[in-house]
Amino acid sequence: MTVLRHSLLFLSLLGHTLLPYAAPAPQASAPATPAPTSSVQLETPEPIIDYRERFIPVVARHGMVVGPEQLAAEVGAQMLRQGGNAIDAAVATGFALAVTYPRAGNLAGGGFMLIHLAGDNRQTLIDYRESAPAAASRDMFLNAEGELDQQREYFSLQSAGVPGTVAGLLYALDKYGSLSREQVLAPAIALAKEGFPVSFALSFEIDASAKRLRQNPAAERLFFKPDGSVYAIGDTWRQPDLAWTLSQISDSGADGFYRGEVAQRITVEMEAGGGLITAADLADYRVVERQPVRGTYRGFEVVSTPPPSSGGVHILQILNVLEGYDLQAMGHNSADYLHHLTESMKLAYADRSLYLADPDFVDVPVMQLIDKGYASRQRARIDSKQATPAVEIAPGRPLGPESTETTHYSVADRFGNVVSNTYTLNFSFGSNIAVPGTGMLLNNEMADFAANPGSANAFGLVQGEANKIEPGKRPLSSMSPTIVLQDGKPWLATGSPGGSVIITTVLQMVLNAMEFDMNVATAAAEPRIHHQWMPDVLRMEEGFSPDTIHLLKAMGQPVDIANRTTGRTNSIMIEDGWLYGATDARRPGGWVAGY
């Protein structure tokens, strides 16, 4: 039940005049379809766009890919046009982003893929998060004085977890895709081998990280011209080593990455530079298929990512708390609304510090944390007129006994399948270390463990013993690919990068759509807030009323107007058979590819 569906007025594209809405005649992209039991022709409803709104989504009928980079999104749409399904498109997009969006697209990272399968009318979660090497240990990043060595934790070969991306994408393709591995990988191989024009976004991103990338000879060779200069806008960038690696995967599947020559090149680099990943670590990596977490909010069903991500649990926790308030009466982004939203965030992030970790190593009380009875108890802790200082908030007692440079994309096909995928190298360009001869960067996901339990990680998140480093364990994540169902059918697919702000970004995206009836483009464009319990700071994007900020400060909220934006959603809304896509304008280069 959204603005798109309930528009009372329609602005004529030809006359630019406000007219009462009436469904126009069908266009070629939406032909009339015969009634199953009659000769009467039933018109396919046209998409409804309200041109009074400032932000308008892109509309498609048959398939759509919304992602952070144009060429990769079009690769995914190409798979859909060739008869592939959403999983084929998602996998092709993932491999293409490894070529065209190297700051976060990757082969040597990891992530989570949430899939709605139309045939079975069910959702499943593919966990291809990186894992700790067998030689990893609890105190591996502490020096002799017991202090954290951040250089080693963030920018060394030891910071790399065993990559999961290749295994995860191929697992999804083999089990749920319909096209061949060769078909799906061919566009990425061609982009790497033949090259593509460097965009403004890509040139800017490489230049911004140039100092650190140049510290690694293999990365310098990969990302800069032979004379050492940055590729300029419009230059053709070719990556023959990456084309070779992708060809190994195309020819031999997962074995082409986790065994054989690619694996050997990884382990040679590890042995030469004191890294921990061994041939056995690579060969032993396994994808885990998990049940998503799910909950309800005012008639919607929200399906999201389970541990080892904290994202889905905390989105549901916060929604459960907020469901007890009349948010519409408060008004969207009013001081009253933002105060209650902030206090709910603080409670959830406090719980994150104690309870969340890899469920294969720790008993995570998921069902207790997302229980609506627990939410009622948490709601009672909120003072509606005054902020509670973070130091006075401890993790709640359940009932009963991540980088700013992650990337997300969403896909929908004509069969009704939907994919919401988030994957990452952790920091921008990961560890900034490339494996010679492979054309790929290593992740630095070991920094997502609690290297020194009780202390904050790179994103300021305080983490406890549950997320300590252990061999084979997957580090806690904030990645939150999410699908919202209405009447049992996919209605919204969304997700975001942003490390610790992923959770609150996705939360506000779904609240804007579900609670405040916004179209997908408007929901993405509204200014956002973020509070993660510790540090005790309410981070606000620019765009909020000065009066609202004044009122929040009067309530005791520690407001900080952030010097950067929060998150970057790539989302699809599905209504009456039409696909409405929006890529977040907070970063350049995003693209909606549909047909």
Are 407 and 68 within 8 A, CB to CB?
yes
Q: Is 406 a catalytic residue?
A: yes
| Distance separating alpha carbons of residues 98 and 497, to the nearest angstrom | 16
Cα–Cα distance list, 408 to 90, 142, 496 (Å): 11, 32, 5
244: left (phi over 0), alpha (psi -120 to 50) or beta: alpha
One DSSP character per residue, 219-264 reads: HHHHHB-TTSPBPPTT-EE--HHHHHHHHHHHHHTTHHHHSHHHHH
595 in Cβ contact with 61 (< 8 Å): yes
3-state helix vs strand vs coil in the chain, percent to 5: 35, 20, 45
Enclosing H/E stretch for 187: helix 181-194
Residue 472 · residue 414 · CB < 8 Å = no
Q: Which of 100, 406, 494, 522 is catalytic?
A: 406
DSSP bridge partners of 309: 477
Instruction: Write b or e for each residue in 151-168: b if 16 or more Cβ atoms lie within 10 A of its Cβ, otherwise e.
Output: ebbbbbbbbbbbbbbbbb
Under 8 Å CB-to-CB from 462, ≥6 apart: which residues?
353, 454, 455, 456, 533, 534
Q: Burial, 182: exposed, middle or buried (Cβ in 10 Å; 0-12, 13-18, 19+)?
A: exposed
Decide: helix, strand or coil at residue 360.
coil
- Name the DSSP class of 497: -
Closest of 346, 480, 362 to residue 410, by C-alpha: 480
Do residues 318 and 324 lie in contact, with contact meaning Cβ atoms separated by under 8 Å? Answer: no
- 288: helix, coil or strand? strand
Active site residues: 406
